[in-house]
Each structure stands twice: as C-alpha cells, then as structure tokens.
Amino acid sequence: MSASTLATDPSVCSPLPVLGRDVLVPLVTGGEVTYAALDYAASAPALQRVWDDVAAFAPYYGSVHRGAGYLSQLSTDLFESSREDVAAFLGCRPDDQVVFTRSTTDSLNLLAAVLPAGARVFVFETEHHASLLPWERRDDVEVTYLAAPRSHREAIETLERALAAREPHGPALVCVTGASNVTGELWPVRELTAAAHAHGARIVLDAAQLAPHHPVDVAEWDVDWVAFSGHKLYAPFGSGVLAGRADWLRDAEPYLAGGGASRTVARRGDGGVDVEWHTTAARHEAGSPNVIGVYAIASACKALTEAGFDALVARERQLIETVRRGLAQVPEVRVLSLFGDDSPRVGVLSFVVDGWNSSHFAAALSAEYGIGVRDGLFCAHPLVRTLLGSEPEDPGECGAPEAAPGEKSLNAIRVSFGAGTPDEHVERFVRAVRELVRDGAKWSYRTEDGRCVPDRG
C-alpha cells in the first residue's frame, strides 16, 4: 500500500505517515525507545507522501524559468502548477498572487518591505516574533502594539478602538495569528478581518500554526494576505508562502533585485541601467527558486486535502483532550491560556510545573522517556511574559534559562502534535509528566552552554 493510499483510505486508523516514526533513541537509564516527536509547532516531520513525491521528481530536477531543455521545462511546469495547488489549498481569489518565499518570517518581511510609505501597522503583542518584528525596520511606517486580550471580544474591541483612533486615515495593516504558537488557541480571524475592513485597514493572517491543523479560506474569510511555512506543514525546510492581494506587491520595488524579478534590463547612455520589473509573483522571487521546496509544499497541501480536514481535526481534538485531561490530573501543572481553558485550540499546549525549571523538565522528558518537546519563550517573549505574570525586565531567554533546575525561571514547556502523531506518543507524554512530578527525575542534570543536559559524569 502506498503512502498516499494509507493517508486517504478510511479503513486505516493510523495517522498520516511521517518520516522518523520508527527512529529509535537511547535513554540515559538504558535501552532505546521509539522517538516521540512532540515539537510540531517548531517543525513538523515531513509526510512520507511528500518525501516520496520529492524523491520521484529529483531525477528530473532542472533550472526553473531558465532553459529550453526538457528537464527545465518540466521543472518550470511543476513550479507553476505547485503555485496553483497552493492557491487552491488556501482558497485564494482569482486575482490573488502566490509568492514563494523561504518561510513565514520571510513572507512577513516581504510584506513589510512593500507597505506603502506612511502606512500604520497594528499588531497584538501576543504574536510570534516573525509577525511582531518585521514592521519596525521601516522608518516610514508607524507600528502600534496592542495589549494581550483575554477574550475574543476583547481582541475585537481593542482592535476597533485602535483603528478608529488612528490619524491620519491612510494605508493601514493589521497583523494577526490564526492560532497561537504558545497556547494553540484559535483567534477570531473572521471578526478581526471584518473590524479591519470596516475601518479601512487591510489584514494579514499568520497561518503558520493554523494551516497544518485547519482549512484556511482566503476568499471566504476575506483576509488580504496569508503567510505560512512549509516546515510547519509537513514539508522539508526552506520554503514558505505569501498569498493575497496583488496591488501592494505589484507597486513596490522588488524584495530582492536580480534575475527572475526583472523582465528587461538595458544600459542607458549615461552609463546606468534601466530595468523593467515583472508585475507577477516573479517580481519578488528573484534568483533561482527552490523548486524542490515549492513542490514539497504543494505535495503537503494535496496530502492534507485528500486526507480530509474534517477527519484530521476530529482526531486531533481527541489527542488534545487526552493531553488536557492528563495534565489536569497533575495539580502541580498549570496550562497557559489567554482565552480560558475551554477556548478552541490546535494541537499546541504550553505549561509550567511547580518546583521545576522548564528546561530541566524538558531535558528529563527527552533523556528518560524519548520525548521531544520545546522549552523557553518560543520566540514569543511578550506573550509568554504575560502568561507567566512576569515583569518586562525579568530574565529569560528562548531555551536558555539562567536559573538552575528547581529555581524559578522565566520559561515554559510546550508540547505540540498533529496529523502524524501516534496515540502512543501523547499517552507516553502524559504518563511521563505524571511520573516526573510524582517521583522526580531518575538522572542528575547540569547546565551546559545554557541548556539543561544529562550529567554523564
């Protein structure tokens, strides 16, 4: 049975197959165990279907848009058909552009670069750094940071007040996540979009954590742009997407100057050059494109669509309930939330454990149980500080706490999962949390280069 058949056959109960599902890792206490990859929010493992598709294409790899040879033509056709597949996956409008980038971060930096001069940007402090920071690099753009809301209604009202108070009423952009990379909570995208448009602003959706878990529909939701990364969507590293309205993209200078972005280049009599830039997505795709990465994204889009999001969402809810129920049975565990425990979320949860440094806890999960999670501030420092009730000047770094195990430290633990996660992985995680809190770690640990690691003597 092929990987694609396994992914879509309703008689098969296992999740979508991913690479690494049979990898064995050593335990400090002796023996080996199948690795439980529960850090999907950072990078989801590649789908077996994606890897198989890429491997089948690899012998035919050629330079895109650059040659008359058969392999170049084949690669060009594949590159452009992948653009159509991604547009279909996102529910794009007929006149939207799909620009291929390196990642969500790259996509949002591209959008920041094409903002009209004098634009105002409104962004909640709860965003991932990829959508929090790019706007500050424009000296001619004003950024307004909005305080962390504690409900959907508060988020909408906060945005409406900020937009209504802006002066002058020029170009404005709202940036918002679809699902938090810290709490997994879903944001009210439709309502925030309606609020933005009612006040003459546009909106970009950071779908890095949403697209792998839920369908995204640009046209139905009426968002102006959407950005996401291949490595969150079960595709290998190095590719991303910015999709949406063409006008700001078409009117701005190219994100990168070079071949592919230029239509014609001619010398002038004064020694300079005149350049005519493309008005299509190619305008912001200078250089030889990552055709392998682009094809991988398209393959992942098709695999998720064929598997059916209804079934994937239903199964993920079961996994979320298993984790939440298990953590709720450990009084020392506090799950972090903006909108309340009952708020809908994707398979991402962050928590802290009384009496434990989060880096120590994550290290023990890995070394003693073969479970990979994330600890730190998750490249969302303002949000995690808010959730932990800290002051802005409190120390803390992503994954490198200064405090020793057992001391208070500004960091948390994040567990995340998705379509490729076996039930056993989340069950092992819940059991491991319970045992570590009840019995303590079986091994001693020390700090090395800012990380908590097993002390091997």
Residues recognised as catalytic: 379
Q: Are 209 and 232 in contact (CB under 8 A)?
A: yes
Give the torsion sign (CA, 239, 243, 248, 249): positive
Tokens, residue 229: 């990364």
Q: Which residue matches tokens 């980038």?
A: 101
At 167, give phi and psi (nearest 5°): -140, 135
Burial of residue 95 (number of CB atoms within 10 Å: 0-12, 13-18, 19+): exposed
Q: Is 136 helix (H, G, I), strand (E, B) or coil?
A: helix
- From first CA to last CA, the distance across the chain in angstroms is 47
CA within 13 Å, CB half, 171: 12
306-to-7, 51, 56, 116, 419 alpha-carbon distances in Å: 8, 16, 19, 39, 13
Residue 168 preceded by cis peptide, ω within 30: yes
452 DSSP β-pair partners? 447
CA distance 380 to 124: 11
Burial 38-68 (b: 16+ CB within 10 A, else e): bbbbbebbbbbbbbebbeebeeebbebbeee
